[in-house]
Amino acid sequence: MRAPRAATPEVTPSKTKLPKVKSSKATPSRKGSKLATNRAKPQSLADAQPVFPFTAILGQEEMKRALLLNAVNPNIRGILVLGHRGTAKSTSIRALADVLPPIEFVDECPYRCPPEKPAGLCDTCVHAKPRAKLPTLVGRVPVVDLPLGATEDRLCGTLDIERALSQGQKAFEPGLLAKANRGFLYIDEVNLLEDHLVDVLLDSAAGGINIVEREGISIAHPAKFTLIGSGNPEEGELRPQLLDRFGLMAEIRTIADIDTRIDIVKRRLAFERDPAGFRADYEPAQKELRARLVSARDRLDRVEVPDAALRFIAKLCVTLDVDGHRGEITLLNAALANAAFEGRSQVTLDDIRAVATLSLRHRLRKDPLDRTDGGEKIRWALEKLEEEANSTTLVRGDTR
């Protein structure tokens, strides 16, 4: 008799399996000579819903620029959006994911592992079969919502109770961090998030790995995501530990211009009446923006950073009494992304100026007696240092 094999923890995808649509290397279908498309079907009801075009969003330029910079350079590590309700925060985030180029991932992998990169692959994909033969799908960049009432098990993953009861096996049921891998994790009203969930997010965001140790299961899986939070500062402040982990911070306000408000209502009404037709009208602009993002990503590693730019960034952070060095690192990554997006070959003073407020606003020391806006302080420091920079080699104009 064959000795029974000991049950071992294993990772299983969700019950709703992805449609087995082959990649561009697929063989012809049995029903005809047409090759199966490599674009995956929507994997949830949310994915199937039409998305408002990113290029159709009016106003909120600071928020839109911050989102685009994160799309170009993920090393910026997220964005925090604070402001009034109903100002297109969640709409912009989902619209960004829609305009991004689709990603290729391993079929039925719960973590959407990329087939071409060995680093970061989950245990399932590493040990399944040679990577060149893994069936793949192409789909939209995931945007995962983290509800305020979510439990730690829902966020991190836990034991698959149904599998354990029906088959007597210890199996891992992936959580929201697994679904957000290679995508965006969006937290609305992030300032109201429970502290124990904040701690989990800090650990995963820092290392890009989610480690689960519970119910006899020990597993680690990739959890590299862009953290995006939004909230109203009037409803409570954010924990300093989490605030510092957001690379950029954008402040948005309700638009007061009457004509712009009218145009916003008109566009929304047109989208609700005919989503397909509205999206078709903006498809040329969407394609242009998508091509610009792809070009910026390709250019990013070739953008040069002059020593004068590094010195300017360091002086700016010292002038503003920014604690730690995360401010310089984030400001540099954002300036690199801005230069790449604008088609420049090196970081200029214009790039630093464009992202300084976004990168440092939430890192300034707070004085309860000083009511000066953080953005104003940064602008004053920039003006002071720009006068000194006139005699340096830091370039101001375009360098294409």
Active site residues: 326
Q: Are strands 157-159 and 171-174 parallel, antiparallel or unpaired?
A: antiparallel
CA distance 31 to 287: 33
Residue that is written with structure tokens 């923890």 in the block: 9
Q: What are phi and psi of 172, to 5 degrees?
A: -95, 130
Q: Are strands 171-174 and 209-214 parallel, antiparallel or unpaired?
A: unpaired
Contact 373, 233 (CB under 8 A): no
Contact 105, 114 (CB under 8 A): yes
CA distance 395 to 398: 8
> Which tokens in the block code for residue 217?
């299961």
- What count of other Cβ atoms lies within 10 Å of the Cβ of residue 173? 22
- Which DSSP string do the residues of 3-72 spell out, in sequence order? PPPPP--EE---SSPPP----TTPPBPTTSSPBPPSBPPPSSHHHHS----GGG--S-HHHHHHHHHHHH
Strands of 84-195, DSSP E: 103-106, 136-139, 143-145, 157-159, 171-174, 184-188
DSSP code, position 366: P
Q: Are strands 226-231 and 184-188 parallel, antiparallel or unpaired?
A: parallel
Contact 239, 229 (CB under 8 A): no
The distance from CA 51 to its chain's CA centroid, rounded to whole angstroms, is 17
